A and B are shown apart, each in its own frame.
Chain A
Amino acid sequence: MDKKQKKKSLEEMIEVVLFRIPKEIEAMRFYKSAAEKATDEAAKELFENLAAQEKGHEAELRRILNDLKNQLNELKKEE
């Protein structure tokens, strides 16, 4: 893969990851709100676990996003 293709591929990946982050935040908020409304403990625990998973997805996506941005910056510096 040449530099131009790699740059394009990195930019596309950044877009994919970037657009996904607010979705994870939204899902986390939804599950948190559901956990607060849940009347039985099992449901509450389930929603809290789901919210924690979404938080994990967000954290992981942010980590990947930073990594991709760094790679793109490095590539731009080389140009």
Chain B
Amino acid sequence: MKRSEVKEYNGQNGKPAYIIFDNKIYDVTDSKLWKDGVHMNRHKAGEDMTDFISMAPHGESLLERDNIKFIGNLEEEKQKEDKKSKYRRLYGKFHPHPMFIHFPMGILYFGAFMLLLYLFTGNISFESASYYALIVGTISIFPTVLSGFISWWLNYEMTMTNVFKNKIVFSAILIVISLILIIIRSNYLPPHSMNYILEVIYVGGYFLCLPILSFIAFNGGKITWPS
């Protein structure tokens, strides 16, 4: 019998209740602990119980009881290798998202510090450094976001929760702001040469990137170190 066929034996509507354990099929219909194909209000007949045994208050010897019948070995369909678990293994090995996040964090913080020095000293070299940091920092957001989506898909089945919502929305805001800043700065000279409104938008926007970045990272921390 194949895995998909065992699923039919769910103990409901008078059907027998079968379970799979260690690639073997057992009939648990006569067991009081599997009334109507449900065990301890948790497990349903027709499913594979192998991984759950370590959580059970009993061992596998329970399957040798008289009221449980061995049906046969599971006819294993040629199992396609779960691509997702292969990618998950790869992700676990290289963990690209926690690695990439350091780039926009470090570079944009550095750039904002350079801009601050420029505003205090008027030294144009600091401004140039902040502009280049803005470009590199913005570029580095893209692999960070992409690897974040990959991690969300592989590790969290793309389940939308507040943490992921925050990360996605604020990453989008960060991308928009940083691209606008690049456009402004590419088309105009350094901040002191811009008109007042544009200078406020540019400098304000640059410094606004910092709390946004920190908020995204804070939400990432909630995933890594859940409270």
Contacts and interface: CB of A to CB of B under 8 A. Distances in A.
Interface of A: 11, 14-16, 18-22, 25-26, 29, 49, 52-53, 55-60, 63, 65, 69
Given A25-B88, A26-B92, A63-B42, A18 B51 contact: no
Contacts, number: 51
A16 B223 CA distance: 9
A53 B53 CA distance: 9
B161 A57 contact: no
A60 B55 contact: yes
For the side of the interface on B, what is the size category? 20 to 34
Given A19-B156, A29-B92, 15 more contacts: A15-B226, A16-B226, A18-B156, A18-B161, A21-B156, A25-B92, A26-B92, A53-B55, A56-B54, A57-B55, A58-B51, A59-B52, A60-B52, A63-B52, A69-B159
B162 A56 contact: no
Nearest to B54: A56
B159 A18 contact: yes
A43 B89 CA distance: 24
Nearest to A59: B51
B226 A19 contact: yes
Contact of B54 (A11, A18, A53, A65): A53
Nearest to A63: B42
Interface in B45-75: 51-55
A64 B47 CA distance: 15
Given A21-B155, A25-B88, A26-B92, A15 B163 contact: yes
A66 B89 CA distance: 23
Contact of B162 (A11, A21, A57, A58): A11
B161 A55 contact: no
B159 A14 contact: yes
Chain B binding site: helix, strand, loop or mixed by DSSP? helix
8 contacts: A11-B162, A18-B161, A25-B92, A56-B51, A56-B53, A58-B51, A63-B43, A65-B159
A72 B226 CA distance: 21
Chain A to chain B: the 8 pairs with minimum beta-carbon distance, closest first: A56-B54, A59-B51, A56-B55, A19-B226, A15-B161, A22-B155, A53-B54, A52-B54
A14 B159 CA distance: 9
B84 to A, nearest CB: 12
B32 to A, nearest CB: 22
Nearest to B89: A29
Contacts of B89: 29
A55 B163 contact: no
Contacts of A58: 51
